[in-house]
Amino acid sequence: MKVVNLADFQEFSSEKMKKHNLFQSTRFFCDVYCLEPRQEQKGHVHGDQDKVYLVIEGSGTFRVGEECQVLGLGQGTMAPAGEEHGVLNHTDQRLRVLAFMAPNPS
């Protein structure tokens, strides 16, 4: 059994958002996204995959379709397949997000 500790996934990059894979199969993946202040995951679309974001540190602006909302610790949202989505760390603090996507696009 693979066991992970979210506290172990805190590596950030000053150049761009850093992704850390926790779990992956042919059916889904689960990553931790680490965003420094003002970094973003640019808007993009997954045609056949649903994605769930859960904030595990900080707060950020999440966009799904035409809607934007600031989410904080413990809050989450889902981007259904075909909806453009992205994340912006609009704050001066670090942002860590748990991201689940199914089915795995790779």
pLDDT tens-place string over residues 44-71: 999 999 999 999 999 999 999 999 999 9
CA distances from 70 to 4, 83, 90, 91, 101 (A): 27, 18, 9, 10, 21
For each of the domains in the chain, give its residue range(s) and CATH number, in order of start. Answer: 21-102 (2.60.120.10)
Spatial contact of 88 and 11, defined as CB atoms under 8 Å apart: no
Q: For the full predicted model, state whether its pTM sits above 0.75.
A: yes
The stretches in the chain having pLDDT less than 50 are none
d(CA 32, CA 53): 10
What is the structure's pLDDT at 82? 96
What is the structure's pLDDT at 76? 98
What is the structure's pLDDT at 104? 81
